[in-house]
């Protein structure tokens, strides 16, 4: 059963249709909207499986279907769908995780008033995300990229009556827009220099050798190679969307949205879009790798940004007390890892980590969601605690998710994918700094995860909400179990012994693994690191669990100033306010001044001038012109009056003159004229 690229559009189209149904159905059509959304996503999942089968049948082939969108002056502007192992894997992941999250949110959002609208936005988001994945043209990708941004705004600001949610939605939208600006510029520059935006177009595509060759050859300002410049611009889009170092501030605030939203968007799919984008345009990013005399390589920038983000995310996560914010910062750091993997040259490891991370991070968020749902929306871990007894299934699945995230060896998918990244980082010849940052990151990840587990699940419940928390209905716990299973199993897809995923993605057909012994050193190191992190975490939080909600944090006792600084998220928000915020208000004030005094003054000046000329005109007109004309016409009327006296109106008089005139005339002719 094969699916030709031509029918790829079905995958995004089905959730879009469900979104339409959700939108058009009246508010009371809750079941219908939800059912449509889930059914559409399941159908889309089935189509993606078929697509996966076709893609894996010939992993190297890039099944492309291009069609004419509209004719733009001389040429025809074309878009298209692309089917290759990367697209297939991403589609399957998004649809599978999406379905589970949809089912979970059936329970989670049951009490909400506009339940129907929620599902409409969710399916809209799924459609946009799938559209982004299957796109063969950078423009189509950009369009769905923007739609994804819109969907995230709608979903973050879902409880818009909460001012903080509305502000968070705006913040998310604006910061991602800043990144998107870079992507747009890169897109335009690409179109300008290569004349087309299609990735693969039978040789003429952007990512094909001919175009890349021409890009690499051109050099712009500062000796920077054009392909590097475009690559970096596109990377800006990725930074914005995936919450990398400078533009990560919106992700923690995005936690204002309902938890399934955070799970779907801010764990599994949307944030991964940035990584997917760089993976998709990887040939373009690599184009400048061979040139030596280039001031900077695109991928090195990616690598360093990824390393910084990973380290920073992990540090801040340690000091967070809100369960969803801890997970948010852990997402930031894991994305940093993916960018690091991309930067150091192994995009396959990045995609593998993306896939595994999608599953266990979704699991962790849904776990957090069921905890919050059970504890009546209590999110602060200091006032939770002791839930392991009350919520058995959630506790077990949450524990499995945490192990996968931390990278407990051998059984958990997180370990293999992180291992691959460390291996790649270690092998990078440019510099070893990112490797050391990654290593420190692994330790910190292990530490804050154990802190999280200890604070929420062990010890005694420290608030009335935590007191009577109880396990949720199966509709919420079932997805947790499924995700937990995936979190464990997926790891074995791509172990060094049998690197099936890598071969598929790289397009090679037969799989030849190498024995475990080669990477043994690194594997040993990571095991040690994980153990170190876990030990430290247990030491501080495990043995003596927190006594009361207000008790001071053990770490804060040791390093109060550092922890306060970390808790304040490295004061980035204040930094941005201070710089960008003030700049904005200053320029607004200046514009207002300009408007009022400069232009306003000019306009009033003109008005005065107009009045003056009018005055002058009336004066001259009154005095000179009218006077002149009046007496001229007076002279004409005089003789007119004289002649009019001849018109007496007496018909006989006229006839008499007629007759006399005739007589005189004839006499003249007879007497004088003709002889």
Contact footprint for other proteins (CB under 8 A): 643-652, 655-656, 659-660, 662-663, 666-667, 670
Sequence-ordered strand ranges (E) for 422-513: none
Q: What phi, psi does 237 have (nearest 5°)?
A: -55, -45
Residue 668 CB, shortest distance to other proteins, in Å, is 11
Query: CA 411, CA 418: separation in Å to the nearest integer?
Result: 13
How many whole angstroms separate alpha carbon 595 and alpha carbon 495?
65
Of 608 and 645, which has the nearer Cβ to other proteins? 645
CB nearer to other proteins: pick between 524 and 653: 653
The smaller minimum CB distance to other proteins, of residues 75 and 653, is found at 653
CB 636 to other proteins: min, Å? 15
The dihedral formed by the CA atoms of 436, 438, 442 and 445, expressed in degrees to the nearest 10:
120
Nearer to other proteins, 429 or 650 (CB): 650
Please identify, using beta-carbon distances, which residue of 594 and 666 lies nearer to other proteins. Answer: 666
Nearer to other proteins by Cβ, of 163 and 638: the residue is: 638
Provide, rounded to whole angstroms, the least separation between the CB of residue 673 and other proteins: 14
CB of 634: closest distance to other proteins in angstroms? 19
30 with 116: CB under 8 angstroms?
A: yes
Helices (H), 109-156: 115-134, 138-156
Crossing angle, helix 433-457 and helix 413-427, to 10 degrees?
160
Question: In sequence order, what are the beta bridge partners of 322?
Answer: 380
Closest approach of Cβ 628 to other proteins, in Å?
Answer: 28
Rg for the chain, CA atoms, rounded = 38
Q: Which residues pair with 75 in a beta bridge?
A: 72
CB of 614 vs other proteins, minimal distance in Å: 43
Per-residue burial over 221-236, b = 16 or more CB atoms within 10 Å of its CB, e = otherwise: eeebbbbbbbbbbbbb
- Tell me the two tokens of residue 240: 């914005």
CB 224 within 8 A of CB 257: no
As measured in angstroms, the least distance from the Cβ of 660 to other proteins is 6
Strand partners, 91: none
Nearer to other proteins, 290 or 646 (CB): 646
The CB-of-640 to other proteins minimum distance in angstroms stands at 9
Longest dimension (CA), the chain: 158
Q: 598 or 636, CB closer to other proteins? A: 636
Here the tokens at position 628 are 């002149």
CB distance 430 to 308 below 8 Å:
no
Match 């232009």 to its residue by tokens: 599
Rank residues 73 and 673 by Cβ distance to other proteins and give the closer one.
Answer: 673
Residue 74 or 670: the one with the smaller Cβ distance to other proteins is 670
Query: How far is Cα 479 from Cα 100, in angstroms, rounded to an integer?
Result: 5
Structure token pair of residue 207: 């990512």
Shortest Å distance, C-beta 671 to other proteins:
11
Specify the 3-state DSSP secondary structure of 304: helix
Contacts of residue 168, defined as CB under 8 A and 6 or more positions apart, other chains included, come to 156, 157, 250, 253, 254, 255, 256, 257
Whole-angstrom CA distances from 658 to 397, 543, 663 are 129, 142, 9
Min dist CB 657 to other proteins, Å, is 9
At its nearest, how many Å lie between other proteins and the CB of residue 667?
7
**Beta carbon nearer to other proteins, 436 or 657:** 657
């Amino acid at each position: 059963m094969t699916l030709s690229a031509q029918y790829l559009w079905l995958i995004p189209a089905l959730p879009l249709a469900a979104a339409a149904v959700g939108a058009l159905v009246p508010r009371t059509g809750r079941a219908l909207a939800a059912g449509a959304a889930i059914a559409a996503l399941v159908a889309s999942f089935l189509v993606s499986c078929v697509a996966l089968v076709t893609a894996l049948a010939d992993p190297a082939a890039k099944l492309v279907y291009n069609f004419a969108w509209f004719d733009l002056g001389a040429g025809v502007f074309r878009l298209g769908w692309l089917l290759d192992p990367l697209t297939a894997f991403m589609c399957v992941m998004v649809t599978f995780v999406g379905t589970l999250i949809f089912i979970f949110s059936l329970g989670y959002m049951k009490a909400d008033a506009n339940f129907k609208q929620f599902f409409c936005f969710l399916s809209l988001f799924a459609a946009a995300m799938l559209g982004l994945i299957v796109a063969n043209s950078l423009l189509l990708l950009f369009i769905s990229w923007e739609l994804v941004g819109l969907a995230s705004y709608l979903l973050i600001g879902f409880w818009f009556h909460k001012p903080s949610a509305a502000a968070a939605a705006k913040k998310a939208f604006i910061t991602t827009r800043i990144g998107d600006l870079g992507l747009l510029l890169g897109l335009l520059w690409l179109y300008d220099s290569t004349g087309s935006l299609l990735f693969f177009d039978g040789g003429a595509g952007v990512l094909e050798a001919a175009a890349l060759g021409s890009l690499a050859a051109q050099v712009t300002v500062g000796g920077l190679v054009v392909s590097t410049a475009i690559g970096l611009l596109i990377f800006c889009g990725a930074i914005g969307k995936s919450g990398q170092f400078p533009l990560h501030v919106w992700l923690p605030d995005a936690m204002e949205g309902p938890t399934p939203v955070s799970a779907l968007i801010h764990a599994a799919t949307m944030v991964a879009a940035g990584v997917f984008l760089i993976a998709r345009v990887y040939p373009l990013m690599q184009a400048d790798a061979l040139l030596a005399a280039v001031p900077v390589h695109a991928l090195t920038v990616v690598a360093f940004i990824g390393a910084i983000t990973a380290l920073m995310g992990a540090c801040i996560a340690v000091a967070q007390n809100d369960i969803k914010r801890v997970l948010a910062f852990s997402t930031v750091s894991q994305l940093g890892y993916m960018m690091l993997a991309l930067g150091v040259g192994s995009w396959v490891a990045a995609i593998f980590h993306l896939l595994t991370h999608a599953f266990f991070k979704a699991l962790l968020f849904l776990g957090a969601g069921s905890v919050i749902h059970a504890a009546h929306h209590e999110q602060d871990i200091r006032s939770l605690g002791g839930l392991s007894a009350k919520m058995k299934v959630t506790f077990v699945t949450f524990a499995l998710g945490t192990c996968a995230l931390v990278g407990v060896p051998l059984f958990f998918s997180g370990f293999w994918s992180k291992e691959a990244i460390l291996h790649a980082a270690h092998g990078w010849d440019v510099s070893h700094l990112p490797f050391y940052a990654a290593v420190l990151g692994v330790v910190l990840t292990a530490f804050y995860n154990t802190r999280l587990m200890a604070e929420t699940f062990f010890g005694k419940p420290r608030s009335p909400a935590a007191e009577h928390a109880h396990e949720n209905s199966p509709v919420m716990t079932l997805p947790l179990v499924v995700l937990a299973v995936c979190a464990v199993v997926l790891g074995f897809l791509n172990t060094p012994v049998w690197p099936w995923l890598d071969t598929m993605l790289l397009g090679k057909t037969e799989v030849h693994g190498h024995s475990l012994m080669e990477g043994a050193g690194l594997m040993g190191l990571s095991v040690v690191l994980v153990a170190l992190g876990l030990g430290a975490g247990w030491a501080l939080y495990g043995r003596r669990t927190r006594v009361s909600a207000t008790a001071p944090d053990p770490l804060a006792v040791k390093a109060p100033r550092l922890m306060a600084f970390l808790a304040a998220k490295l004061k980035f928000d204040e930094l941005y306010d201070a710089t960008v915020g003030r700049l904005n208000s200053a320029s607004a004030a200046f514009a207002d001044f300009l408007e009022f005094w400069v232009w306003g003054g000019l306009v009033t000046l003109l008005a005065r001038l107009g009045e003056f000329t009018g005055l002058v005109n009336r004066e001259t007109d009154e005095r000179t012109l009218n006077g002149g004309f009046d007496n001229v016409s007076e002279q004409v009327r005089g003789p007119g009056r004289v002649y009019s006296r001849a018109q007496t109106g007496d018909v006989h008089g006229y006839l008499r003159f007629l007759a006399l005139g005739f007589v005189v005339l004839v006499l003249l002719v007879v007497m004088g004229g003709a002889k």
